[in-house]
């Protein structure tokens, strides 16, 4: 999202509200850098909204994770497996963040690829946009210190699992720098993680960042890694900022009760002196 009903909406009993912040800066190459915390002096506050905190039972050791989300799409193949979970709250997009997204030519170019992947893998476009913003800041040729590549920062081993491998003509790195290939492989991976963790967006995002094994080893909770905890918050909070609020619920029209017609003679029973409309003899 996550995929959005109120600023203090309870996903579990004991949920309380906390400030959700998005910090960031745009470097001299036009690449966005975003975080749930102020990483250094370059970061400025892009957005500050209200977002729910999870109940203690959902937290890892020393963790302040984002809440496990609830799916909002139709359940075609089983509960909570086939949808983008809703973001945690209604968070209007801040003017600074909106200006960055509106001015990003890369975002305009890749939007059709995000829409196609979102449709194919039953994800929200806003979720993909939030994840790409956090992963690469829309830098098509981004390379992380750990060797993750492209818009959705796929490591070579993960990309190979989804059929992205080098050949004699094109290296794997070049293929992952292609927006269509990168977005479709990354979206497929995110969908599989949502399925693995039964629609819990926070766990799927934690696994995207730290690996499925790290989440499972932590007892299906967000691992106690500061980078992963910050990553989950950043993506979910930006997803909430990007996701438009649902349309207002329309009350059904009030229909006045219709008066019942007066009871008449039973057409199947003869009335006095007549048999089904014929005089009695």
In the numeric block, the tokens 């004991």 are attached to: 14
Is residue 274 scored above 90 in pLDDT?
no
- How far apart are the C-alpha atoms of 54 and 187, rounded to whole Å? 26
pTM for the model: 0.69
Domains within the chain, CATH numbers bracketed? 17-245 (1.10.530.10)
Q: Return the active site residues.
A: 135
Q: Is residue 156 helix, strand or coil?
A: helix
- How far apart are the C-alpha atoms of 151 and 178, rounded to whole Å? 9
Least confident of 36-45, 57-66, 255-264: 57-66
pLDDT attached to residue 87: 57
Q: Report pLDDT digits (tens) over 123-166.
A: 999 999 999 999 999 999 999 999 999 999 999 999 999 999 99
Q: Of all helices (H) and strands (E), which one includes residue 201?
A: helix 201-210
Q: In what order do the strands lie in the sheet with 17-26?
A: 32-35, 17-26, 44-52
């Amino acid at each position: 999202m996550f995929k959005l009903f109120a600023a203090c909406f309870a996903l579990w009993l004991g949920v309380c509200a906390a400030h959700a912040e998005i910090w960031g800066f745009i470097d001299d190459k036009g690449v966005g850098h975003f975080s749930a915390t102020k990483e250094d002096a370059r970061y400025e506050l892009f957005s500050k909204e209200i977002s729910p905190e999870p109940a203690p039972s959902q937290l890892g050791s020393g963790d302040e994770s984002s809440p496990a989300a609830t799916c909002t799409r139709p359940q075609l193949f089983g509960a909570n497996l086939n949808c983008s979970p809703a973001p945690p709250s209604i968070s209007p997009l801040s003017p600074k963040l909106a200006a960055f997204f509106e001015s990003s030519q890369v975002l305009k170019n890749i939007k059709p690829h995000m829409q196609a992947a979102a449709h194919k893998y039953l994800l929200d476009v806003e979720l993909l946009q939030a994840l790409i913003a956090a992963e690469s800041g829309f830098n098509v040729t981004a390379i992380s210190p750990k060797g993750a590549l492209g818009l959705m920062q796929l490591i070579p081993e993960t990309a190979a699992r989804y059929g992205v491998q080098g050949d004699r003509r094109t290296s794997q790195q070049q293929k992952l720098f292609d927006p269509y290939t990168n977005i479709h492989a990354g979206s497929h991976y995110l969908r599989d993680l949502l399925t693995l963790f039964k629609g819990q967006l926070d766990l799927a995002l934690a696994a995207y960042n730290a690996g499925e094994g790290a989440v499972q080893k932590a007892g299906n909770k967000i691992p106690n890694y500061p980078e992963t905890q910050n990553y989950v918050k950043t993506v979910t909070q930006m997803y909430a900022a990007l996701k438009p609020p649902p349309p207002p619920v329309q009350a059904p029209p009030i229909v006045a009760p219709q008066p019942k017609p007066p009871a008449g003679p039973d057409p199947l029973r003869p009335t006095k002196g007549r048999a089904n409309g014929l005089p009695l003899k």
